[in-house]
Structure 1
Amino acid sequence: MKLINFLTLNATYRPWTVTTLFQMRDARSVMPCIDLPFMKATLDICITHPPGTEARYISPLEIIRIIRRNMGYLGHLKIAILQYMSEFTGFDYPLKKLSLFSTSLPVNGVENFGLIVLNERWMAYPKYRMAHSILAHEIAHQWIGNIVTVKKWNEICLQVHFYLTFSIHY
């Protein structure tokens, strides 16, 4: 099974994180599906977690609790890049929110529609140029890949070229 789970067991040192990374064809190792980029589907998930913990997700909520937090440097940068991307493409970001989440995944960044997961080092040092480039790259995924999608995995290089160009351009 290619489901990737990362758990940090010492919760007093670091919060627990359970994540999945299904790119390229790994969703089919967990559930029956047609695992192609243009065959988007929804999935209902129920998350039960202990009191004092927080669950993060990208799907619409049935029960909504509003949490206001200081956005910090990356939050303001995210808004600037979203505005730039809207002007650049001529299309507004279609979702009501775009969340940033930090984890110890062994990648610089991963995007899901409505959620960007950044490696914790880029959240800790947000003013590094590399952090800006990664955030711009992942925000570009919100348009090309989530809104406009190639049909097959062997065409993904077309999308990757756009992400790289945008992350360098921004």
Structure 2
Amino acid sequence: MRLMGWVAAAVFAIDQALKYYVVHGLALAEVRAIDVWPPYLTLRMAWNTGINFGLFAGGAEAARWGLIGIALAISVAVAVWIRRDPPGRAGFVSAGLLIGGALGNVVDRVVYGAVADFLNMSCCGIDNPFSFNVADIAIFAGALGLVVFTGEGGGEKAP
């Protein structure tokens, strides 16, 4: 459980520090885009009021608080699940990634009213219109890890 907590805290801290730097330090909210390594990596500001890829982005205050509640409920449910059925180290890391990322996006919704997305990657003639953030990467990796590293055959149990 400690490993899960440390991973969640690290992901949360990295996510929030990068968002603060990009939004306030680089003023990306005003500049809108900064080419880092075009077209592969661009910082492109996007305020996401919905879920992944802006789905369900209605902008209603009730939707904002509903998404906050869902993220918190999922985080608590994952922590309870992992406590009741402890996985191996990879499972604890995966749970920490998911929880840390979810909490990072919750803080954005509380502070800014939307999630601060700023990473944009394109390649091979495909112009990706979507932006994401470190929390999104952690949530995706954590969810995938929980599928792979938990349950029967999910790996060796941690001591």
Q: Considering the TM-score relative to the shorter chain, is it more than 0.5?
A: no
More helix by percentage: 2
Q: Which has the higher contact order (CA 8 A, sep 6+)?
A: 2
TM-score (norm 1): 0.29
TM-score (norm 2): 0.30
